[in-house]
């Protein structure tokens, strides 16, 4: 990778060779002012939004000394780095965080309040980007057969995907409108929801299929696959790892967490094991693509697909800026099985560092990093495992969703004689049965309040917030995050949040979750790198809703439709 673009080297000569490259970079390019549209200027040809699923805000610090020169270290040393950036919504899940980064809105505005919510009219769980009108485009014969079950969501209704349920415009949507449709907008992700949310309504999305190991899209975007996608999938790169294993990048003794490999509370995903090396098994096994995704290989495939997209679509090749989002999903999957303080966590981050370095080198060759405005962030952080915290002396446990339902039902039965008042519970939202409340001639608000009071007294439950509102003296920071998560038809009647480090999720092969309103889940990196962006660290608190308005301001356009954040002044101005 070129460390300094050629135009900057020329300036460096006149300024004296002793200056660091970052400073030269700064001197060479005029700061991009909010009043100066970059459109039509040759400066920014590509907005590259990189989102690392589950990259808690402290992980880059923990592993900082272990990175190579051209990956995370390049971004951290050349960019404006926000050390105290947080999602300010309560349900810190993948679709919620991605949609917030893309739109600059809180979930109350973009409508993506959770990975799933209960559809009261249909009487079943809805997956955030599910859309029966937009079936997946099959990539091979066997994928044509009927509907399939998504084990992560326990859903089988449809595999169709589109952004139609997103209620706000993204940066990409806004850029397309601003440039009269000339900006190209793409989202690539290890997960469907990370690709679809970032591509917005206007862009094209592609994501890794845990059914086939191919990158897929839906009929919302295309009638048939572009030729380059057919070509990429024909190489069957995931299957090339059949019979192989995820092995450590370096000698185990060199890792900070070298002693944290085999812990009894890690999850063994059907033969994947708790210790290195983790075998992927045979490519014919239905879990093979999932195991590939729970490793550094899934991230490498994601980057490779994105590179193929840039080449084939000519992204970033003219004066009209294009938008490309790349979401890496390996870390989150690894966190869920092994926890964020595991050897697996350290290794997947170190291997992602290499993947990132390779990607940045490619972008420099094809677009030029001096023409690229890059922003790095994460959709959420991660909790530590309850058993790990308890070992350290912080005693916490696991809550049972069934127990939450029983407590709620008992409270309504005792107070109002209503049996089975809970219509549905999928954390964080509890949905009450309006019909039963009406039949008992009770007000919904009074039932909500009584049930919430009982839930709040449960060990391990920190908050139970009724739709009808808590008392006026309870306006805490966590409660404000619950409010920002509220959508009138999608949110449930009571928001249930566990106490810090308590686990509240369905049973299943998951050792640990994110999704709480606590700071380990809200804290994420926010790093901007690009022409005119100074190298500095900023410690004031900022919100992830500021990211999209900052990109919009640099591009000289209005913020996305529902953005609530503000442009980050340190990115826009030199001093």
Binding site for Zn ion (CB under 5 A): 332
Please give, one letter per residue, the 3-state secondary structure of 374-439. Answer: EEEECCCCCCCCHHHHHHHCCCCCEECHHHHHHHHHHHHHHHHCCCCCEEEEECCEEEECHHHHHH
Burial label for 66, CB within 10 Å (0-12, 13-18, 19+), is middle
Give whichever of 261 and 332 is closer to Zn ion, judged by the CB atom: 332
The DSSP annotation for 314-325 comes to TTT-SSSPEEEE
Structure-token pair, residue 156 = 């089988």
Closer Cβ to Zn ion, 332 or 387, answer by number: 332
Which DSSP letter does residue 399 get?
E
For residues 130 and 332, which CB has a smaller minimum distance to Zn ion in the complex? 332
Among the listed residues 262, 351, 270, 278, the one whose alpha carbon sits nearest the alpha carbon of residue 52 = 351
Q: To the nearest whole angstrom, how small is the minimum distance from the Cβ of residue 93 to Zn ion?
A: 7
Contact (CB, 8 A) for 501 and 386: yes
CB of 430 to Zn ion, least distance (A): 21
Residue 117 C-beta: closest distance to Zn ion, Å: 17
Minimum CB distance to Zn ion smaller for 299 or for 546: 299
Identity of the residue, 291 or 307, whose beta carbon is nearer to Zn ion in the bound complex: 291
Select 54 or 172, whichever has its Cβ closest to Zn ion: 54
**Encoding tokens for residue 99?**
């949609």
- Backbone dihedral angles phi then psi of residue 290, each to the nearest 5 degrees: -65, -45
**C-alpha span between 116 and 453 (Å, rounded):** 25
Residue closer to Zn ion by CB (options 52, 257) is 52
Output the smallest distance, CB 231 to Zn ion, in A: 31
- Minimum distance, C-beta of residue 514 to Zn ion, in the bound complex (Å): 6
Q: How far is the CB of 65 from Zn ion (least distance, A)?
A: 27
Contact 81, 230 (CB under 8 A): no
List the structure tokens of 558: 């209005």
Q: How far is the CB of 295 from Zn ion (least distance, A)?
A: 15
Q: Closest residue to Zn ion, Cβ-based?
A: 332
Those residues with Cβ within 8 angstroms of residue 107's Cβ, 6 or more apart along the chain or in another chain: 89, 91, 96, 99, 100, 113, 484, 485, 486, 487
């Amino acid at each position: 990778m070129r460390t300094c673009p050629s135009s900057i080297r020329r300036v460096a000569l006149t300024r004296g060779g002793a200056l660091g490259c970052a400073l030269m970079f700064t001197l060479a390019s005029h700061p991009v002012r909010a009043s100066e549209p970059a459109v039509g200027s040759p400066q920014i040809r590509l907005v590259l939004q990189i989102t690392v699923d589950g990259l808690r805000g402290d992980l880059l610090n923990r592993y900082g000394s272990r990175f190579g020169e051209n990956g995370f270290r390049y971004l951290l040393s050349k960019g404006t780095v926000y050390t105290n950036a947080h999602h300010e919504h309560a349900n810190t899940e993948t679709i919620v965080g991605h949609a917030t980064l893309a739109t600059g809105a809180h979930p109350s505005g973009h409508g993506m309040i959770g990975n799933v919510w209960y559809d009261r009219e249909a009487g079943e769980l809805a997956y955030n980007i599910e859309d029966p009108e937009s079936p997946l485009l099959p990539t091979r014969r066997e994928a044509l057969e009927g509907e399939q079950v998504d084990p992560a969501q326990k859903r089988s209704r449809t595999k169709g995907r589109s952004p139609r349920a997103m209620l706000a415009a993204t940066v990409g949507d806004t850029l397309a409108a601003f440039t009269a449709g000339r900006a190209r907008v793409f989202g690539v992700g290890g997960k469907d929801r990370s690709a679809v949310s970032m591509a917005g309504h206007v862009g094209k999305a592609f994501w890794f299929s845990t059914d086939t190991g191919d990158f897929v899209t839906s009929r919302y975007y295309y009638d048939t696959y572009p030729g380059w996608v057919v070509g990429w999938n024909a190489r069957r790169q995931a299957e090339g790892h059949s019979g192989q294993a995820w092995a450590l990048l370096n000698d185990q003794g060199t890792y900070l967490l070298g002693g944290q490999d085999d812990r009894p509370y890690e999850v063994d995903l059907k033969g994947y094991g708790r210790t290195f090396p983790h075998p992927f098994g045979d490519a014919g096994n239905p879990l093979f693509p999932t195991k590939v995704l729970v490793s550094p290989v899934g991230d490498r495939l994601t980057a490779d697909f994105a590179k193929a997209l840039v080449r084939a679509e000519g992204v970033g090749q003219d004066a009209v800026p294009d938008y490309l989002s790349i979401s890496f999903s390996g870390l989150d999957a690894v966190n869920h099985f092994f926890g964020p303080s595991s050897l697996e966590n350290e290794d997947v981050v170190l291997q992602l560092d290499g993947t990132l370095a390779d990607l940045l080198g490619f972008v420099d060759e094809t677009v030029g990093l001096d023409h690229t405005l890059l922003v790095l962030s994460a959709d959420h952080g991660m909790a530590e495992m309850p058993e790990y915290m308890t070992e350290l002396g912080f005693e916490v446990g696991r809550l049972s969703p069934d127990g939450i339902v029983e407590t709620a039902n008992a409270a309504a039965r005792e107070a109002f004689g209503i049996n089975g008042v809970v219509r549905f519970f999928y954390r964080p939202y509890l949905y009450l049965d309006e019909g039963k409340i009406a039949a008992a001639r009770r007000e919904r608000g009074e039932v909500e309040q009584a049930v919430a009071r009982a839930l709040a007294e449960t060990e391990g439950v920190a908050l139970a917030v009724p739709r009808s509102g808590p008392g006026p003296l309870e306006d805490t920071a966590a409660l404000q995050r619950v409010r920002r998560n509220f959508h009138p038809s999608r949110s449930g009647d009571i928001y249930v949040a566990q106490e810090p480090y308590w686990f509240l999720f369905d049973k299943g092969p998951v050792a640990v979750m994110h999704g709480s309103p606590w700071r380990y889940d809200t804290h994420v990196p926010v790093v901007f790198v690009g022409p005119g962006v100074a190298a500095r660290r900023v410690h004031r608190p900022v919100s992830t809703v500021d990211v999209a308005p900052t990109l919009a301001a640099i591009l000289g356009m209005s913020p996305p439709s529902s953005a609530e954040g503000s442009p980050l002044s340190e990115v826009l101005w030199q001093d």
